[in-house]
Amino acid sequence: MVHPRLLSSLFLGLVMLPTLSFAAGKCERLIVTGSPDAPPYLWRDPQDPRHLMGANADLLTQAAGELGIKVEFLYGGKRSQALEEVRTGRMDLLADAPFNAAQLESLDYIHPPIVQNDIMVWTRHDHSVPFNTLDELHDRPGTMSEKTRLTPSFEAAAKQHLSLIRLPGLTPAFQKLALGEVDYVLAGRYAGVLSGVVVQFGLQRTMVARTTGEKDDRIGRLRPCG
């Protein structure tokens, strides 16, 4: 079950019924896929691994229901595989596509975005200097999950200015922070909140400058079905 406050915040950023109707065209059913390991937005249903569940699934299912459209969230593989499923037309919608101008030749983007997921700088409570901008992170060791997706501009800035260790997931990243092996973790606001390690070790978060650290989650699509 998605936390009501999270779902409400998603609706605040989504006035999308007319847009979803346009995306669906004459469809009575849409096949949607996305990243299978991106809670709270989408993850693989442990009770039914063929399907995805999460906030994006709940939100789109409710919005599509208002239009009389049936939506099914199917596992399409890793995110790169899911993207290919939509690109080739085997599935209709990619439910967690950050805007990327390079993909405009093969994907249409539905506006407005579902949610703006801020990339946060997570530090220890006992850290003496809070982080507010990328400049303050220069030459300080940090880490992030390989699954955290950054916008192209942020990715370029991170490669140029930050010393980041990429790890397989958020848990080992936050463990390194808790042990003092790194000074910060870059992670999405909600993914960080849901990490049990954050609660366990009492870590605090401060936001990277919004103009730089913002990640824009949208719905990408190839074409209407049918």
Q: Is 111 within a domain?
A: no
Q: What element of type H or E holds 61?
A: helix 55-66
Q: Say which range, 14-18, 71-75, 98-102, has the weakest mean pLDDT.
A: 14-18
Residues 36 and 72 in one domain: yes
Phi-psi region of 88 (alpha: psi -120 to 50; beta: other; left: phi over 0): alpha
pLDDT per residue as tens digits for the range 99-122:
777 777 777 777 666 666 778 888
Residues 183 and 135 in one domain: yes
pLDDT per residue as tens digits for the range 31-42:
899 989 887 788
pLDDT category, 44, cuts 50, 70, 90?
Answer: very high
pLDDT per residue as tens digits for the range 179-226:
889 988 888 877 766 656 666 666 666 544 333 344 555 556 555 554
Across-strand partners of 119? 188
The SS3 call for residue 177 is: helix
**Tally of structural domains, the chain:** 2
Q: Is 70 within a domain?
A: yes
Q: 136: closest CA among 102, 161, 101? A: 161
Structural domain span for residue 164: 118-216
Which pairs from 62-70 meet CB under 8 Å and 24+ separation? 63/14, 63/16, 63/17, 63/20, 64/20, 64/24, 64/30, 66/17, 67/17, 67/20, 67/21, 67/24, 68/28, 69/20, 69/24, 69/27, 69/28, 69/29, 69/30, 70/28, 70/29, 70/30
pLDDT (average), residues 65-76:
88
Residues 56 and 145 in one domain: no
The number of beta carbons lying within 10 Å of the beta carbon of residue 25 is 12
Q: Is 107 within a domain?
A: no
pLDDT category, 11, cuts 50, 70, 90?
Answer: very low
Sorted by sequence, the CB contacts under 8 Å of residue 118 that are 6+ apart come out as 188, 189, 207, 208, 210, 213, 214, 215
Which CATH number fits the domain that encloses residue 78? 3.40.190.10
Q: Is 221 within a domain?
A: no
Q: 41: closest CA among 112, 164, 147? A: 147
Residues 136 and 203 in one domain: yes
Phi, psi of 77 (to 5 degrees): 95, -170
pLDDT per residue as tens digits for the range 128-149:
566 667 778 888 899 998 888 7
Task: Name the residue with higher pLDDT: 13 or 163.
Answer: 163
Q: What element of type H or E holds 206?
A: strand 203-207
Across-strand partners of 70? 29
Residues 94 and 126 in one domain: no
pLDDT per residue as tens digits for the range 121-133:
888 777 756 666 7
Task: Name the residue with higher pLDDT: 34 or 3.
Answer: 34
Query: What pLDDT is recorded for position 149?
Result: 78
| Residue 90 DSSP code | S
pLDDT per residue as tens digits for the range 51-70:
999 988 988 888 888 878 88
Please tell me the pTM assigned to this model: 0.66
Query: What pLDDT is recorded for position 104?
Result: 76
Query: What pLDDT is recorded for position 13?
Result: 34
Query: What pLDDT is recorded for position 10?
Result: 38
